Chain A
Amino acid sequence: MLTLLAQESFSHYGAVAVLIMMAVIFAVANLILTHLLGPQKQGKIKGMTYESGMNPVGSARRRFNVRFYIVAMSFLVFDVEIVFLYPWATVFPSLSEHSDLPIVFLGRMLFFVLTTVIAFVYAWRKGVFRYD
């Protein structure tokens, strides 16, 4: 069974592998070609960072607002939830109606969503989504 599945999947993923190879070759060829074809000149003023024509002030690699970090953290909560719900969604419609599996699966999903909703409400009350 497993080997059969692997064989079937392999031939299907073959086209994906070819496409990934072609995409990488395309991107690398473009980057190399444009490097070779264009002129190359450096200069002190030319190498200055563009800041609307003013002399640049300080470095751009500095501390940034913590809000972006919090957004990324709350994204993780939801993304993990969605990833776990995909297998559930593919199985749920085809469960046998004569067993108690559907109600069990629905209960699990609702519990899972409930935990996320708690996190969501907490974040909302904390003002994570408030941008001023």
Chain B
Amino acid sequence: MSAQFIASLIIMLVMLHVFLGSISYLILLERKVASWIQHRLGPNRTGLPYGAFIPGLPKTLWGLGQPIADAIKNFLKEDFIAPGADRILFILAPGLALIPALVGWIIVPFGGYLHLNGTNLLMGGAPLNIGIIFVLATGSLAVYGVVLGGFASNNKYSFLGGMRATAQMVSYEIPLGMTILTIILMYGTARADYLIEFQAGGVWNIIYQPVLAMMFYICGLAECNRAPFDLAECEQELVGGFHTEYSSMKFALFFMGEYFHMITSAAIFSLLFLGGWDIIPFVKLLPAMGEQTTLVWGIIAVLLKIGVFCGKITFLIFLAMVIRWSLPRFRFDQLMRLAWQSLIPISLMMLIMTGMVVFFGLNRWWLLPGNFLVVGIVYVLMPYLPKGPAVNRRVPLEGSRFCPPVAEA
């Protein structure tokens, strides 16, 4: 029982409950953002008093009671298992989707270091030395829940959704891993706390590597099955995708897993590229690791760091919601082409470029022109790449009334 274990345990328990509570309110926020973008009111009927009259409190509090009502309703709905379904896998799948999502964020160092009695205590999750790789390991386990859910349902929509989700998550894991690898290569460590300490009070990685940050954000959206990459559950084609046959809390567990993945990917983005708990780049405001402070200022700084971290996470999730409600969905071939024919080659080039900068011992500012050099190379090479046949344009739908006259071969 070291002091670090107790500190990790306290922060972990607090943040777990904060996140679990905030997930239901994130769903409300998502519906509010949707209504804001589509110019309507959104959920606004279920207030916190649930119809009871409390003097001085408005009856409908911007729909703030909606998440709790939804949770109770989910518990009370019938837990239906179709007779054709594989019972064991069907029950196992939502748990398998949720558990890895709940575990991955443990490495995020929310509060930075607190200097106490000559030792440095990490006021965050566990300071694992595999760090970011732990997130990748748990993140890839999330595929199992989705594919088993799709397979066990014995429903064609679910099956297609599960297959699509597998192909998508597997494809976007490669550029995601490569971008993380590039950041590890810059600093020579995979520990999340060290990665933040390197950036804090100095230059954030998004300034060194803007193109890489953009690629990481795209891959993060795709890994969470978020729009515009939500082909696994697109309503127009597949009803609900892999969770078509699910009801009650089992259905809600899939959604909680998805929102927890969003929180995790936003946290990883902010710790890799936005300096974690750092307030503004180039200015040192908060004490770094191992710095002597008074106890009161140290504790205030830890609370500030946690607040800044949560603020960044909230902003990134808000961004993902705005993207979801403003961009149309990709087609499946476009999705796979984006992963295999553009993101993977570009991330390979980024890796080699960063490796060169590290090898020659250059200043990190060389990474910025290096990023744009890679983009330039891509633009120069693009016209010489072999092109596939134009999709969906020259295929005459024979027999349909939209079919142009087909030449006899």
Please state if B95 and A27 are interface contacts (CB–CB under 8 Å).
Answer: yes
Tell me the residues in window 344-391 of chain B with beta carbons closer than 8 Å to chain A beta carbons.
344-345, 348, 351-352, 355, 358-359, 361, 386, 388-389, 391
Q: Is the beta-carbon distance between A11 and B173 smaller than 8 angstroms?
A: no
- Choose the segment among B55-63, B157-165, B216-224, B268-276 that binds chain A (4+ C-beta atoms closer than 8 Å): B157-165
User: B207 within 8 Å of A by Cβ?
Assistant: no
Query: Is chain A's interface secondary structure helix, strand, loop, or mixed overall?
Result: helix
The answer to whether B181 and A89 touch across the interface, beta carbons within 8 angstroms, is: yes
A-contacting 9-mer, from B40-48, B286-294, B315-323, B329-337: B329-337
Residues in B whose Cβ lies below 8 Å from that of A85: 181, 351
A90:B190 contact, CB within 8 angstroms: yes
Does residue B235 face the partner (Cβ distance < 8 Å to A)? no
B187 contacts partner chain A, Cβ-Cβ < 8 Å: yes
- Which of A24, A34, A85, A97 has the largest count of B CB atoms less than 10 A from its CB? A34
How far is it, in angstroms, between the C-alpha of A75 and the C-alpha of B339 when the chains are bound? 11
How many residues of chain B get a CB closer than 8 Å to chain A's CBs? Answer: 86
The reply to whether A15 and B102 form a contact with Cβ atoms under 8 Å apart is no
Could you tell me if A64 and B163 are in contact, using CB atoms closer than 8 angstroms? Answer: yes
Question: B171 an interface residue at 8 Å Cβ cutoff?
Answer: yes
Docked-complex contact A18 and B78, CB < 8 angstroms: no
A11 adjacent to B99 (CB under 8 Å): no
Interface digits, A9-22 against B, CB 8 Å rule (1 contact, 0 not)?
Answer: 10111111011101
Is the Cβ of B173 less than 8 Å from the Cβ of A75? Answer: yes
| Contact across chains for A13 and B126 when beta carbons are under 8 A apart | yes
B240 to chain A, nearest CB (A): 9
Known: A15-B8, A60-B159, A75-B170. A27 touches B126 (CB 8 A): no
The chain A residue with its CB closest to the CB of B335 is A131
Contacting A19 at CB < 8 Å: which of B106, B129, B133? B106
CB proximity of A96 to chain B, nearest CB, Å: 12
Chain A residues within 8 Å of B157, by CB: 50-51
Which residues from chain B contact A117 at a C-beta distance below 8 Å? 348
A contact residues around B75 at 8 Å (CB): 33-34, 37-38
Cβ B171 vs Cβ A71 within 8 A: yes
B189 (CB) vs chain A CBs: closest residue? A90
Stretch at the interface among B27-35, B247-255, B303-311: B247-255
* Contact mask for chain A residues 67-99; partner B; CB cutoff 8 A; 1 contact, 0 none: 110011011001100100110011111100100
Given A82-B178, A110-B352, A11 and B79 contact (CB-CB distance below 8 Å): no
**A38 CB contact (under 8 Å) in B77, B359, B386:** B77
Whether A34 contacts B74 in the complex (CB less than 8 A), given A15-B126, A27-B253, A82-B177, comes out as yes
> In the assembly, what is the distance between CA of A71 and CA of B165, in Å?
12
Given contacts A34-B74, A90-B189, A131-B333, contact A78 B133 (CB under 8 A): no
Nearest-Cβ distance from residue B329 to partner chain A, whole angstroms: 15
Name the CB-closest residue of B to A128. Answer: B340
- Does A40 count as interface, using CB distance less than 8 angstroms? yes
**Interface 0/1 of A31-64, CB less than 8 Å to B:** 1011101111110001111111000000111001
Nearest B residue (CB) for A36: B79
* A15:B12 contact, CB within 8 angstroms: yes
Q: Please name all residues of chain A whose beta carbon is closer than 8 Å to the beta carbon of B133 when the two chains form the complex.
A: 86
Contact between A130 and B388, CB atoms less than 8 A apart: yes
User: Which residues of B sit under 8 angstroms from A130, Cβ to Cβ?
Assistant: 388
CB interface residues, B 159-194, toward A, < 8 Å: 159, 163, 166-167, 170-171, 173-174, 177-178, 181, 184-190
Complex A-B: 18 CB contacts under 8 Å:
A12-B4, A12-B127, A19-B102, A27-B102, A28-B95, A31-B94, A31-B249, A31-B253, A49-B154, A50-B157, A68-B163, A68-B166, A72-B167, A92-B188, A92-B355, A93-B185, A106-B355, A131-B333
B residues near A (Cβ < 8 Å) are 1-2, 4-5, 8-9, 12, 16, 20, 74-80, 82-84, 91, 94-95, 98-99, 102-103, 106, 125-129, 133-134, 151, 153-159, 163, 166-167, 170-171, 173-174, 177-178, 181, 184-190, 239, 244-245, 248-250, 252-253, 332-333, 336-337, 340-341, 344-345, 348, 351-352, 355, 358-359, 361, 386, 388-389, 391
The 3 closest A-B pairs by CB, nearest first: A34-B249, A131-B333, A93-B188
